[in-house]
Amino acid sequence: MSIPGLGQLAPTAAPIAAAASSTASAPTTTQTLEPYWEYRFEVPHGSTLTIKLLAGTAEKDGTELAPNTPYAFTATKSKINTWHGCTLEITAPSSGTYDAYTSEPTCDETPMVSYLNLHFKLESLRAAAQKTAQMGPRVLVVGPPNAGKSSLVRTLASWATRMGRQPLVVNTDSREGMLTLPGTLSAAVFATLIDITTDWGSLPSSGASAIPVKLPLAYYYGLPQSDDNPKLFKRILGRLAIAATSRLAEDVDVKSAGMLIDTGGVPTGARAAAYYDFVAHIVAEFSVNIVVVLGSERVGSEMQKRFAGQTTSVGETVTVVGLDKSGGVMERDEGFMQSIRESAIREYFFGNAKMTLSPFTQQVDFTAVSIWRINEAPSKPAADGGGITYDEGEVQTDVLEKAEPSMMMQNCVLAVACASVHDAPDIIRDANVMGFVYVADVDEKRRRLRILAPVSARLGDRPLLWGSWPEHMVNLLI
């Protein structure tokens, strides 16, 4: 198979056969788990750990494992838990290493019981909302970094879908993408099960998939931290909140299921105050009525002070719930997270081990593209009379700057905005993302760009957004 601009690719039959033979020769062990036990594992990049459920029941982040079905995990730190006991078949990687151990908590010791109790409480609220045609619970999960916030949101979403619900899941952490690339804020309705071999499931792409693909609504922020440009971050949050609440108003199933909102970790030092302001903004914009604090009494105390006696736009009291952090949560260092981001970008353009994609390359003149750079505009410290201010009617054009193509763009990912190059900067800024392109090469002498796109279509009059996140990466074409 040949990809334009990339040359000839090796046939896929040989690698698949080689993988099958290596898997057959890989050592296999059997692991028996008692009720409430957990099998915790860490698989680095380049290694693949295969797990199969032989007997009993088990789940990962709320999604049940199918019996006698092999699941291949790579570049992940996660766990598999069981409520009634199970037997797992573990196939170690034929090359590379992995780390795994069994945790043996009792019913009184595992925090999973408290997570399940929270789910049942949310389910009772959803049932009541369905009877009265009201909005279901809107849940915001906050806590320090590496507390398991995203895992809890995935677990609650998976349990809800198993009950026949269709919750709307919102990601407000631009450092990690949900069903899309990092640098975005996104939302998606989860009505079917999640692919447990990935965090949120496969990125939307062209090709067959055994698991139904979720299509997110994404807005490009392009910066790693919410306080890198507070006005832009709040503006995008407002746009996402309008879209989310509109979906709740128009879809009765989603309305009764409510929302589950994921956030980034609480920073330390002076930046913590700005983070709490963003949390208050999310609570107001999404009409959050339940704030779940995971793994921090200090953050829980701050949330209690901020939301004590506060009500939502529909008159509901804001409730703060504190939960313990799971012992299975593993710290993910920056090097590991950068590898995760690079893997997501590669998957978006080239697919993964289950599905190979053929991206399209095209040569584009500098004059044929309209690129807008997202600027950093951090909030001023309190000593300078700063803080975070926001006027809903204010048109902020200073967050975007028209950019000339240059070598700085090489190996960068650009977001394709659902707007026209003739639109005003504020319209381009507020537009949702259609997709992404990758700048493979910049020829300043000939004034041409070599762009990699997931589909064979010209960019047309779509403006491109260029931010500092995700960061520059290695050449995809090597």
Q: How far apart are CA 126 and CA 372, in angstroms?
A: 42
Task: Indicate if 147 and 239 belong to the same structural domain.
Answer: yes
Identify the CATH number of the domain in which residue 60 sits. Answer: 2.60.120.1030
DSSP states of 239-304: HHHHHHHHHHHH-HHHHHH-EEEE-PPPPPTTHHHHHHHHHHHHHHHTT--EEEEES-HHHHHHHH
What pLDDT digit, counting tens, does each position of 80-110 carry? 999 999 999 999 887 778 899 999 999 999 9
148 is in an annotated binding site: yes
Task: Indicate if 317 and 354 belong to the same structural domain.
Answer: no
Task: Indicate if 140 and 86 belong to the same structural domain.
Answer: no
Query: Which of 110, 142, 175 is the endpoint of a domain?
Result: 110
Task: Indicate if 64 and 94 belong to the same structural domain.
Answer: yes
User: What is the average per-residue pLDDT within 155-176?
Assistant: 96
Task: Indicate if 52 and 159 belong to the same structural domain.
Answer: no
Task: Indicate if 129 and 59 belong to the same structural domain.
Answer: no
150 is in an annotated binding site: yes
Here the tokens at position 476 are 């995809």
More confident residue, 19 or 283: 283
Task: Indicate if 99 and 127 belong to the same structural domain.
Answer: no
User: What is the average per-residue pLDDT within 413-442?
Assistant: 94
Identify the CATH number of the domain in which residue 299 sits. Answer: 3.40.50.300
How many domains in the chain? Answer: 3
Q: Let me know if residue 344 belongs to a domain.
A: no
402 is in an annotated binding site: no
Q: Let me know if residue 343 belongs to a domain.
A: no
Domain that holds residue 75: 25-110
Q: Which phi and psi angles does 322 have, rounded to 5°?
A: -105, 135
Here the tokens at position 370 are 């309209």
Task: Indicate if 306 and 454 belong to the same structural domain.
Answer: no
Q: Let me know if residue 237 belongs to a domain.
A: yes
Task: Indicate if 141 and 238 belong to the same structural domain.
Answer: yes
Q: Let me know if residue 275 belongs to a domain.
A: yes
Highest-scoring range by mean pLDDT, 17-26, 110-119, 189-198, 370-379: 110-119
Computed over every residue of the chain, the mean pLDDT equals 87
pTM for the full predicted model: 0.89
78 is in an annotated binding site: no
Q: Let me know if residue 18 belongs to a domain.
A: no
Task: Indicate if 87 and 176 belong to the same structural domain.
Answer: no
146 is in an annotated binding site: yes
Given a cut of 70, whether residue 394 has pLDDT beyond it is no
Task: Indicate if 131 and 223 belong to the same structural domain.
Answer: yes
38 is in an annotated binding site: yes
380 is in an annotated binding site: no
305 is in an annotated binding site: no
Q: Let me know if residue 193 belongs to a domain.
A: yes
Lowest mean pLDDT among 1-15, 210-224, 317-331: 1-15
- Within 10 A of 406 (CB to CB), how many other CB atoms are there? 11
Q: Terminal CA-to-CA distance of the chain, rounded, Å?
A: 17
Task: Indicate if 67 and 138 belong to the same structural domain.
Answer: no
Sheet holding 413-417, edge to edge: 360-365, 448-453, 433-443, 413-417, 464-466, 371-374, 400-403
Identify the CATH number of the domain in which residue 422 sits. Answer: 2.40.30.330
Does the N-terminal peptide bond of residue 378 adopt cis geometry, omega within 30 degrees of 0? Answer: no
Please, which residues have CB within 8 angstroms of residue 102's CB and are 6 or more apart in sequence?
A: 31, 33, 37, 38, 39, 40
Q: How far apart are CA 214 and CA 212, in angstroms?
A: 7
